[in-house]
Amino acid sequence: MNVGIAQGERNPNSSWLNSRGVWLTYIILVFVLHFILLSIPYITTSVAWTLTTTIHNLCNYYLFHVVKGAPWETSDQGRARRFTFWEQIDDGIQWTGTRKFLQIVPVVLFFIASFYTKYDKTHFLINLATMLLAVVPKFPIFFGVRLLDINRY
């Protein structure tokens, strides 16, 4: 595969989110996105926050729950091919630190966005919808579930 692989880790996808600095970088990237949106002149603060949460949640949903398999030629002989990234984290163990962190971030963003949009009805509905899209598939009850056979293979 690659140079001198000295570790026996079968799927690097299961552990790289636990590395040092990843959580901090994730939060930094969200704020960088927000600042980029804020610098566009015709967008108000509330629209910027709603856009940030929406883009973050949509990317979150796509990367964690739609894309399956791992971007490496793993040595687990294809076992992870049918699992989404969320299901591969920590080899399927639920309620680890990384999983709790990733479940909390959309909720916190929802609170911040609700505050900055002054609890306006339309913004609330949009933020709530995308937050549910990002948080609900992460529940343990949905582990391995493919509703209506979408994305099964």
Write down the least CB distance from residue 102 to another protein, Å.
Answer: 14
Binding mask 97-136 for another protein (x = CB under 8 A): ----------------------------------------
One residue of 71, 147, 148, 153 binding another protein per CB under 8 A = 71
> Backbone phi, then psi, for 41, in 5-degree steps?
-65, -35
Distance CA 40, CA 51 (A): 12
Could you say which of 92, 118, 136, 146 contacts another protein (CB under 8 A)?
92
Residue 23 CB, shortest distance to another protein, in Å, is 9
Q: Which two tokens stand for residue 56?
A: 């973050």
DSSP three-state, residue 84: strand
- Return left, alpha or beta for 118; rule: phi > 0 is left, psi -120 to 50 is alpha, else beta: left
30 and 60 Cβ atoms separated by less than 8 Å: no
Instruction: List the one residue from 35, 58, 79, 104 that touches another protein (CB under 8 A).
Output: 79
- Quickly count: other Cβ atoms within 10 Å of residue 41's Cβ: 5
Which span sits near another protein by CB under 8 A: 35-43, 45-53, 107-115, 140-148? Answer: 140-148
- C-alpha 38, offset from chain centre: 22
| Residue whose CB is less far from another protein, 1 or 150 | 1
Among 37, 76, 101, 112, binds another protein (CB under 8 A): 76
Look at residues 76, 80, 79, 96 and name the one whose alpha carbon lies nearest to residue 88. Answer: 80
Residues near another protein, by CB under 8 A: 2-9, 12, 16, 19-22, 24-25, 28-29, 67-74, 76, 79-80, 83, 91-96, 140, 143-144
